[in-house]
């Protein structure tokens, strides 16, 4: 015999059906009580809005409030309170992250060295239970540029919306940030793209693929490269043996073993006839043709003849160059400014006060420095020379077969003799040195003070 009719009669209910409704109500109430308890329980204390700190009666301060909520802990477990002290979520998590987008990532300990992740909302409800091996933290959620929760389990990733609805199943080995409304995904060694709702709008069929940069994405299939739009249509045919992302209006491409440039319509603007092409700096790019180097400008015009054995990028309107085994510098127009007579030449750099531009050069294994006009300001008599700092550069000299350090000024004068066993660059008005085993500092006038 069912117990419900007996209970209905004993409780004065009219019939068995009424009893069933009553029991159902009690069941609902029982389910609601824990959440009701959370909403009514409070920590005693006061919130300071200026400091954004809740101070409990015992003097403990709770900080890190975001959107009116902060984590707090009891023992080793974390929960959430609001600025009134109301317990939004009782302490039960190993970690509770700050809120962003009305959600907080929470962590549980699965094993002593293993963590699982999930998300709770601003009412303390679990939007996603903490069962995932990986989940985006606050920073990565902000970088997705989409309101999705990317999570992973056993090396497979998918994503949910902020209400906990599954959009993309956990079957991808990686999911990139959203660009142009598309997520780049990787599955079974191939790449494709999802939309913001998790639909695979471009099949995972590419061997290589980049995230969208504007309306196009660089992809590779069967060893050929090109660009597709957000619907997967090849707007620049996959016919190149290599392609790089667009930098400005051009992208570097390769046909056979030679490089050139295309524009955004796919037209070749620089023929694929170069062994290598550098990236543009200061409106110039170094080109290599048959192991000789020159430069082109942003229109593809050769502005520095292809005749150098080595050529650097322009810095301070100068570039180092090598011809016939010797090094020097050239200017923007290709004129030689530092004679090509040295064994090496560096880029120009200013000292820390920004008052002079010098570049290191060497002859017979000895180093010095030249100015922008190629004048040898510091003679090539040192086996090592550093950057200038506070007008002085550390130099190293062979003194009777022993390397010794000193300091030279911008005019090339050795103002602090090479008599130190070790030395550092000037930091402020002094430099650390070692002499005969004694450590100390030397000032700009060469006065030594031992530690």
From residue 316, alpha-carbon distances to 99, 330, 359 in Å are 47, 11, 11
Distance CA 416, CA 424 (A): 13
| Chain centroid, CA 144 distance in Å | 14
β-partners of residue 367 are 362, 382
pTM: 0.75
Q: Which residues contact 350 (CB under 8 A, 6 or more apart)?
A: 316, 356, 357, 358
Distance CA 322, CA 342 (A): 9
pLDDT of residue 177: 96
Tens of pLDDT along 337-347?
999 999 999 99
Q: Residue 355: which pLDDT band, with cuts at 50, 70 and 90? A: low
The residue among 180, 232, 159, 173 whose CA lies nearest residue 202 is 232
Whether 1 has a pLDDT exceeding 50, the answer reads no
What's the mean pLDDT in 311-322?
93
Three-state secondary-structure class, residue 3? helix
Whether 121 has a pLDDT exceeding 80, the answer reads yes
* CA-only gyration radius of the chain, Å: 35
From residue 17, alpha-carbon distances to 10, 26, 29 in Å are 14, 14, 19
Neighbour count for residue 105 (Cβ, 10 Å): 26
> For the packed helices 16-40 and 3-10, what is the interaxial angle rounded to 10 degrees?
80
Burial category of 286 from C-beta neighbours within 10 Å (exposed 0-12, middle 13-18, buried 19 and up):
buried
Lowest mean pLDDT, pick from 168-177, 194-203, 381-390: 381-390
User: With pLDDT > 90 as the criterion, what percentage of the chain qualifies?
Assistant: 78
What's the mean pLDDT in 60-88?
94
The residue among 169, 158, 160 whose CA lies nearest residue 127 is 160
Q: Beta strand 148-153 with 156-161: parallel, antiparallel or unpaired? A: antiparallel
Q: Beta strand 344-345 with 336-342: parallel, antiparallel or unpaired? A: unpaired
Q: Beta strand 250-255 with 319-323: parallel, antiparallel or unpaired? A: unpaired
User: With pLDDT > 70 as the criterion, what percentage of the chain qualifies?
Assistant: 90
pLDDT of residue 39: 52
Q: Residue 248: which pLDDT band, with cuts at 50, 70 and 90? A: confident
């Amino acid at each position: 015999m069912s117990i419900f009719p007996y209970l209905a009669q004993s409780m004065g209910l009219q019939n068995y059906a009424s009893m069933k409704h009553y029991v159902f109500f009690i069941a609902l109430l029982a389910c609601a009580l824990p959440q009701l308890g959370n909403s009514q329980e409070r920590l005693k204390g006061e919130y300071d809005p200026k400091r954004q700190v809740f101070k409990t009666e015992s003097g403990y301060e709770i900080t890190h409030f975001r959107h009116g909520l902060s984590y707090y802990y009891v023992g080793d477990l974390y929960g959430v309170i609001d600025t009134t002290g109301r317990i939004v979520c009782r302490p039960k998590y190993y970690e509770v992250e700050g809120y962003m987008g009305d959600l907080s990532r929470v962590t549980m300990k699965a094993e002593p060295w293993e963590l699982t992740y999930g998300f709770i909302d601003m009412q303390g409800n679990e939007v996603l239970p903490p069962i995932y091996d990986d989940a985006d933290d606050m920073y990565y959620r902000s970088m997705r540029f989409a309101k999705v929760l990317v999570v992973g389990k056993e090396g497979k990733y998918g994503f949910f919306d902020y209400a906990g609805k599954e959009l993309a199943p956990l079957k991808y080995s990686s999911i990139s940030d959203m660009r142009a409304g598309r997520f780049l995904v990787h599955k079974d060694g191939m790449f494709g793209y999802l939309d913001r709702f998790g639909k695979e709008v471009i099949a995972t069929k590419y061997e290589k693929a980049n995230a969208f940069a504007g309306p196009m994405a660089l992809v590779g299939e069967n060893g050929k490269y090109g660009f597709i739009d957000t619907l997967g249509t090849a707007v620049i045919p996959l016919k190149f043996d290599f392609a790089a992302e667009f930098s400005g209006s051009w992208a570097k491409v390769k046909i056979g073993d030679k490089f050139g440039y295309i524009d955004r319509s796919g037209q070749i603007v620089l023929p694929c006839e170069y062994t290598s092409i550098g990236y543009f700096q200061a409106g110039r790019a170094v080109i290599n043709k048959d192991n000789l180097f020159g430069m082109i400008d942003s229109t593809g015009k050769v502005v520095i003849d292809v005749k150098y054995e080595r050529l650097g990028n322009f810095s301070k309107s100068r570039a180092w160059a090598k011809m016939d085994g010797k090094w020097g510098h050239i200017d923007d127009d290709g004129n030689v400014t530092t004679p090509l007579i040295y064994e090496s030449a560096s880029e120009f750099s200013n000292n820390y006060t920004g008052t002079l531009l010098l570049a290191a050069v060497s002859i017979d294994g000895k180093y010095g420095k030249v100015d922008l006009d190629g004048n040898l300001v510091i003679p090539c008599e040192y086996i090592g020379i550093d950057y200038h700092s506070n007008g002085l550069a550390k130099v190293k000299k062979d003194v009777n077969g022993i390397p010794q350090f000193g300091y030279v000024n911008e005019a090339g004068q050795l103002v602090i003799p090479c008599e130190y066993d070790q030395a550092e660059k000037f930091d402020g008005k002094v430099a650390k040195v070692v002499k005969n085993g004694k450590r100390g500092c030397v000032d700009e006038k060469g006065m030594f003070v031992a530690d």
